[in-house]
Amino acid sequence: MGSLIHIQKFLQLTIINLLVIRKPYMNPYMAGVILGVVLLAAMFLSGRGLGASGGLKYCVVSIVGAVDADHVAQSPYYSKYFEDSGKPLKNWLVFEILGMVVGGFISGALSGRLGFKVEKPAHVSNRRRLLFAFLGGILFVYGAQLARGCTSGAALSGMAVLSVAGFVTMIAIFGSAYLFAWFFRKNWI
Amino acid sequence: MGPILIHSDASTWINLLTGFLIGIGFGFALEQAGFSSSRKLAGMFYGYDTTVLKVFFTAAIVAMIGSQLLKFFGLIDMDLVFVNHYYPYAAITGGVIMGAGFVMGGFCPGTGISAFSIGKMDALVFLIGGFVGAFLFAETFPLIQKLYMAGYKGPVKLSESLGVSDGVFIFLVIIVALVMFWLAEKAEVKFKRPDITSEL
**Quick check: B4 and A44 CB within 8 A?**
yes
Best residue of B46, B118, B128 to probe chain A, by most A CBs closer than 10 Å: B118
**Quick check: B25 and A26 CB within 8 A?**
no
Beta-bridge partner residues of A163? B157
pLDDT recorded at residue B69: 96
pLDDT recorded at residue B39: 97
**B-chain residues within 8 Å CB-CB of A180?**
99-100, 103-104
Task: Give the type of residue at B36.
Answer: S
Q: Answer yes or no: is pLDDT of A15 > 90.
A: no
Q: Where are the alpha helices (DSSP H) in B34-120?
A: 38-46, 51-72, 88-105, 109-117
Q: What are phi and psi for residue A68, nearest 5 degrees? A: -140, 80
Q: Give the CA-trace dihedral at A112, A114, A118, A122, to 10 degrees.
A: -10
Compute and round to an integer the Cα radius of gyration of chain B.
19
Residue B82 lies in a domain: yes
Buried b (16+ CB within 10 A) or exposed e, A148-161: bbbbbbbbbbbbbb
A 63-122 near B (Cβ less than 8 A): 63-64, 75-78, 85, 90-108, 111, 113-121
- Check if the beta carbon of residue A77 is closer than 8 Å to that of residue B138: yes
Q: CB of A41 within 8 Å of any CB in chain B? A: yes
Residue B17 lies in a domain: no
Residue B32 lies in a domain: no
Residue B60 lies in a domain: yes
What are the pLDDT digits (tens) for B22-79? Answer: 999 999 999 999 999 999 999 999 999 999 999 999 999 999 999 999 999 999 999 9
**Quick check: B95 and A139 CB within 8 A?**
no
- Helix/strand number for chain A, H first, E second: 9, 0
Per-domain residue ranges of chain A: 1-115, 124-189
**Quick check: A104 and B80 CB within 8 A?**
no
**Quick check: A77 and B138 CB within 8 A?**
yes
Q: Answer yes or no: is pLDDT of A84 > 80.
A: no
Q: What is the mean pLDDT of residues A70-92?
A: 88
Q: What is the mean pLDDT of residues A169-186?
A: 97
DSSP string, A83-145: SSSS-TTSSHHHHHHHHHHHHHHHHHHHTT----B----TTS-HHHHHHHHHHHHHHHHHHHH
B 98-127 near A (Cβ less than 8 A): 98-123, 125-127
Domain that holds residue B87: 37-190
pLDDT recorded at residue A56: 96
Nearest CB to A118; choose among B45, B98, B122:
B122
With CA atoms as reference, report the closest residue to B121 among A23, A54, A119. A119
CA distance B105 to A52: 16
Average pLDDT, chain A: 94
Nearest CB to A47; choose among B54, B82, B142:
B82
Angle between helices B51-72 and B166-190 (to 10 degrees): 160
pLDDT band at A1 (very low <50, low <70, confident <90, very high): low
- Nearest C-alpha of chain B: how many angstroms from A7? 29
Nearest CB to A163; choose among B24, B66, B156:
B156
**Quick check: A141 and B137 CB within 8 A?**
yes
Q: Answer yes or no: is pLDDT of A24 > 90.
A: yes
Residue B29 lies in a domain: no
Q: What is the mean pLDDT of residues A156-160?
A: 97
Listed in sequence order, the residues at least 6 apart from A24 whose beta carbon sits closer than 8 Å to its beta carbon are none
- Nearest C-alpha of chain B: how many angstroms from A161? 6
Q: How many CA atoms lie within 13 A of B11 on its CB side?
A: 3
CA distance B193 to B182: 19
Residue B114 lies in a domain: yes
- Nearest C-alpha of chain B: how many angstroms from A16? 17
Q: What is the mean pLDDT of residues A25-43?
A: 98
**Quick check: A104 and B127 CB within 8 A?**
no
**B-chain residues within 8 Å CB-CB of A112?**
none
Q: How many domains, in total, are found in chain B? A: 1
With CA atoms as reference, report the closest residue to A119 among B105, B49, B130, B103. B105
Q: What is the mean pLDDT of residues A47-54?
A: 96
Q: CB of B191 within 8 Å of any CB in chain A? A: no
What are the pLDDT digits (tens) for B108-135? Answer: 999 999 999 999 999 999 999 999 999 9
pLDDT recorded at residue A86: 77
Q: CB of A182 within 8 Å of any CB in chain B? A: no
With CA atoms as reference, report the closest residue to A94 among B59, B12, B123. B12
Average pLDDT, chain B: 96
**Quick check: B32 and A34 CB within 8 A?**
yes
Q: Cα B6 to the chain's mean position, in Å?
A: 23
